[in-house]
């Protein structure tokens, strides 16, 4: 009995000891947590660091890049003007030909025979003219002496008029036969490069047939037809009317060309005309430019981009693209640092991208400090710490900040 009581007392003492240790550990942990909370509450919040660009007005040449295709300056489809058999093709396919050069020879035999027949009939009519004319003169004298009747004189006069009419008719037939005989030699109406022949020797052709024998295209100079939206045209006119854009009249018609592979065409072109009708299905109209093509680098149907000079904006506001973001509605916004060192949001109106920058129409003004790095760390109204640019860093927005005296847009 005494032993069991001793065991019970030992167990109770161990339980009390463990409970004491637990209470001591819990108290110590609470003390540490309270101390940590007091320390955290006493530490001031960190101010986020941001990098800004101070906006300055710049002089920018504005251009518009429009897609289009090239077309030949002159195009002539060769068609026969008489019926016949092609005797010989007299040109090399794909070669340059000159105006007046014979391209095809149509069998001239039937047309030569028609010409000879018309000449013979003309000679016959001319031969009878002298005899009938003398008869009329004699009858006229005899009619005064009543040696011939009036009817005989009238018949002679009528015969003379008929012979003269026959002469005029056969003269016209000779001229027509000569023209048709000349048409058997199919010549080039313009100088240029001729394509493939659609007929071979021995083929039967008809006058003014729908299918062309061949096509000649003059490739120096060439046209470039591009499409411009009416919205861009209206925007351009508004900018000019408001004075935001100044046009150089001397260079207004100057145009450059970028080929399909991205290389610039070495020669400048000029703006020829703009169409007066807007395509209702696309809301655009045609601009036609003309480019010299002495090396025939430009071929009809090539895709290219024409760069047209719009004018000069003397007070352009350019912002690096990393400084512009979009709100949930998709509108462009930017964060600036105000005079109190706080971030403020600005709603923007963008004109176009120029290189790695945006041309801002409204929402910012010269002197504004736009945040270009650290935008994700700040919210509108929060205090920020502005970090100066490191001009030596290639990835710094300072590279976007430094602009040449004149920039060109695309």
Q: What does the domain layout of the chain look like in residue ranges?
A: 54-70+218-408, 80-105+184-211, 108-183
pTM of the model: 0.63
Looking only at the bridges linking them, the beta strands covering 325-326 and 332-337 are antiparallel
Count of C-beta atoms within a 10 Å radius of residue 126: 15
The predicted structure's pLDDT at residue 149: 79
CATH for 54-70+218-408 is: 2.40.30.170
The sign one gets for the Cα dihedral 355, 359, 364, 365 is: positive
CATH fold for domain 108-183: Helix Hairpins (1.10.287)
The predicted structure's pLDDT at residue 84: 92
CATH 2.40.50.100 fits 80-105+184-211, yes or no: yes
The predicted structure's pLDDT at residue 181: 93
C-alpha count within 13 angstroms, C-beta hemisphere, residue 232: 17
The predicted structure's pLDDT at residue 394: 45
The predicted structure's pLDDT at residue 404: 36
CA dihedral 205, 210, 213, 217 (to 10 degrees): 160
- Which residue bears the tokens 């037809």? 225
- Give the gyration radius of the chain's Cα atoms: 47
The predicted structure's pLDDT at residue 322: 84
Q: Could you say which residues of the chain have pLDDT below 50?
A: 1, 17, 20-25, 27, 39-43, 391-408, 410
Cα 150 to its chain centre, rounded Å, is 82
């Amino acid at each position: 009995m005494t032993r069991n009581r001793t065991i019970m007392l030992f167990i109770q003492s161990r339980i009390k000891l463990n409970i004491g240790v637990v209470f001591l550990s819990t108290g110590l942990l609470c003390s540490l947590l309270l101390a940590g909370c007091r320390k955290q509450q006493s530490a001031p919040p960190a101010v986020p660091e941001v990098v800004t660009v101070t906006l300055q007005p710049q002089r920018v040449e504005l251009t518009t890049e429009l897609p289009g295709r090239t077309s030949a300056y002159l195009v002539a489809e060769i068609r026969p003007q008489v019926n016949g058999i092609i005797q010989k093709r007299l040109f090399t396919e794909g070669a340059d030909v000159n105006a007046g050069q014979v391209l095809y020879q149509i069998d001239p035999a039937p047309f030569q025979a028609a010409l000879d027949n018309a000449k013979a009939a003309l000679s016959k009519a001319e031969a009878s003219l002298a005899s009938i004319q003398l008869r009329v003169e004699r009858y006229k004298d005899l009619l005064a002496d009543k040696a011939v009747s009036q009817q005989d004189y009238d018949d002679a006069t009528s015969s003379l008029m008929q012979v003269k009419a026959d002469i005029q008719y056969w003269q016209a037939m000779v001229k027509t036969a000569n023209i048709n005989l000349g048409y058997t030699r199919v010549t080039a109406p313009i100088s240029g490069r001729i394509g493939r022949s659609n007929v071979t020797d021995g083929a039967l052709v008809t006058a003014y047939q729908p299918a062309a024998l061949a096509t000649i295209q003059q490739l120096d100079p060439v046209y470039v037809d591009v499409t411009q939206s009416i919205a861009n045209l209206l925007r351009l006119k508004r900018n000019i009317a408001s004075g935001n854009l100044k046009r150089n009249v001397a260079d207004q018609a100057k145009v450059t060309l970028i080929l399909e592979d991205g290389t610039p065409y070495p020669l400048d072109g000029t703006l020829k005309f703009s169409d007066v009708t807007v395509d209702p299905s696309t809301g655009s109209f045609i601009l036609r430019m003309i480019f010299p093509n002495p090396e025939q680098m430009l071929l009809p149907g090539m895709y290219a981009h024409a760069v047209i000079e719009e004018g000069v904006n003397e007070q352009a506001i350019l912002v690096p693209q990393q400084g512009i973001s979009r709100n949930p509605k998709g509108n462009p916004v930017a964060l600036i640092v105000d005079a109190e060192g706080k971030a403020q949001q600005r709603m923007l109106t963008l004109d176009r991208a120029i290189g790695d920058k945006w041309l801002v129409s409204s929402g910012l003004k010269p002197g504004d400090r736009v945040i270009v790095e650290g935008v994700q760390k700040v919210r509108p109204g929060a205090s920020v710490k502005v970090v100066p640019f490191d001009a030596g860093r290639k990835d710094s927005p300072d590279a976007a900040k430094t602009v040449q005296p004149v920039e060109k847009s695309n």
